[in-house]
Amino acid sequence: MTTEPATGHATDTGPGPGPAAPEPPVEDAPRPPRAAREGSVDDLAYLIDCYRAHGPIFLIDQPGELARKEGASFTVLAGPAANTFTMKAASMHQSDVKLRSDRHWEDFSSELKMEGHTREGEGHRRHRTLTSRGYARSAVTGRIGDMVRYVEEQVLGWRPGERTAVVPAIQRVVSEQLGRLLIGHPAGGYLDDLVIFVRTTKVATLLRTEAAAALSDPAYIRARDRVFELGHKAIQARRAIPADAWPDDLLTDLLTAYALGPDDEPSPMLMAATVGPLLAGLETASYRSAFLLYLLLNDPKAAARVRAEADEWFAGPLTWERLKGADTLRGAMMDALRLYPGPSRQWYTAVQPFVFEGHLVREGDSVIVVYDVSHHLDELFPRAAEFDVDRYAPPRMEHRQPGAYAPFGVGGHTCLGSGIAETQVMVNVATILHHLDLAPDPLGVPFDADGDAESAVHVGVVGRRTHP
């Protein structure tokens, strides 16, 4: 099984920077400094300012929706030392776990009818082990030709002269890739429901930028019901074929491990895990593919290098073995994930008092780890604001600095699908650049990382490329 990462996650960057001197005992340690000015936990520039002013641990007040469970005061951990620390402090493989995320995720779990289920501890560790094969990169590397075809089906119809929204097309691509390859069932007509479910739960239960009332909206409830319907259909379709003919995929591993209940009803756990790859991967992988395309179209030199690699790849067998050597494409994908990894917040409760960088975190404190602050520090990534496809190649290897690069998170829930996601982003963008001449948005609208699918990223279609 090949699971080689293209990226250097915070896990594989070696020992962390660690404290310069031994930490003071818990009872003597002072509380973290409080941020001097008000700002929002959703504002990355503000959090970077706070990191510069106070170091890797500070307190901020955050009234409003976010406070409805956690209280209004948050301890923020940010920067490379925080990433390295969280990797261990929130890992269920450690005996002395300091940070647990279950309280923050309770509302999300109940939207999946998983009340009473904890997303931490031994149960979660077992579930990760069970699903590791189905989520490994090798789950898709034998089907790269199919992945390319799903892209071609969506984008070859783009017409010259059109101004096109990229994300909706790539959402369809990604839903085909994940649905067919991981659970043997396409998302098909359920795509809009998945998008509504993911976006609503994200803003109403996790980021809490919207009130919980969004979860009572009839359109949302209908979408949620249909997501469950999709899960049922995938399970029924698999059970309609003899078990000895089941493919080696995620759904087979799930059905082997989790028995069906009375009336053949899947447990909430089985249902959530069946639609899991679509919930976890649909928005993330589609937006990241679109961001990479945007960045390349605005950097013609890098785009020409990536396109040359894509053309060379298309000139031979479409295998992962050949694509993974496309160093410029890989560097471009990694830098797109550095610049736009997503919300990049992890919410925890301290389950024991501890000292980090000389400051006390008390048991019960609400903690937010902002793991992409390090991505924007010039001392780690010179000219950090610039897209630079050569950062990750020797001798620079900027991602290998401890705690510097963590697009797939830190701690016990790091992305299980990271290898698949990297493969999708590279395949999707290589295929588009090989087949189409595109230009940046003709209206010059800057892309909106938080925008909905129709508004996030536009391109101008120049024409189809011809190949001898």
Lookup: tokens for 454: 């129709």
Q: Please identify, using beta-carbon distances, which residue of 337 and 436 lies nearer to ligand HEM.
A: 337
**Closest residue to ligand HEM, Cβ-based?**
417
With contacts defined by CB under 6 A, name the span among 71-79, 150-158, 279-287, 309-317 that binds ligand HEM: 279-287
Pattern 235-274, ligand HEM, x by CB under 6 A: ----------------------------------------
Single residue of 194, 235, 255, 420 touching ligand HEM by CB under 6 A: 420
3-state DSSP assignment of residue 159:
coil
Q: Please identify, using beta-carbon distances, which residue of 35 and 296 lies nearer to ligand HEM.
A: 296
What string of DSSP letters covers 76-142?
A: EEESHHHHHHHHHHT-TTSSS--EE-HHHHHHHHHHTT-TT--SSHHHHHHHHHHHHHHHSTHHHHT
Asked if 409 is part of the footprint of ligand HEM (rule: CB under 6 A), the reply reads: yes
Q: Please identify, using beta-carbon distances, which residue of 10 and 29 lies nearer to ligand HEM.
A: 10
Among all chains, which residue has been given the structure tokens 């992945």? 147
Lookup: tokens for 242: 């003899």
Single residue of 277, 402, 403, 440 touching ligand HEM by CB under 6 A: 277
Question: For residues 199 and 231, what is the distance between their CA atoms, to the nearest angstrom?
Answer: 18
Q: Please identify, using beta-carbon distances, which residue of 360 and 427 lies nearer to ligand HEM.
A: 427
Asked if 231 is part of the footprint of ligand HEM (rule: CB under 6 A), the reply reads: no
CB 438, min distance to ligand HEM, A: 21
C-alpha of 259 from chain center: 29
Q: Compute the CA torsion angle 127, 130, 135, 138 (nearest 10 deg).
A: 160
Contact 251, 184 (CB under 8 A): yes
Rg (CA), the chain: 22
Single residue of 103, 113, 125, 128 touching ligand HEM by CB under 6 A: 128
Site for ligand HEM in 178-197 (CB under 6 A): 178
CB 420, min distance to ligand HEM, A: 4
Contact 170, 289 (CB under 8 A): yes
Pairing of strands 73-78, 57-61: antiparallel
Among all chains, which residue has been given the structure tokens 């994940």? 178
Asked if 134 is part of the footprint of ligand HEM (rule: CB under 6 A), the reply reads: no
Single residue of 117, 307, 345, 413 touching ligand HEM by CB under 6 A: 413
Asked if 26 is part of the footprint of ligand HEM (rule: CB under 6 A), the reply reads: no
Which residues, in sequence order, are CB contacts of 111 under 8 Å at separation 6+? Answer: 197, 201, 205, 215, 224
3-state DSSP assignment of residue 248:
coil
With contacts defined by CB under 6 A, name the span among 23-31, 160-168, 219-227, 413-421 that binds ligand HEM: 413-421
CB 319, min distance to ligand HEM, A: 20
Q: Helix and strand tally (H, E) in the chain?
A: 16, 10
Pattern 317-356, ligand HEM, x by CB under 6 A: --------------------x---xx---x----------
Asked if 288 is part of the footprint of ligand HEM (rule: CB under 6 A), the reply reads: yes
Q: Which residues form the interface with ligand HEM (CB under 6 A)? A: 128, 135, 178, 276-277, 280-281, 284-285, 288, 337, 341-342, 346, 407-409, 411, 413-417, 420-421
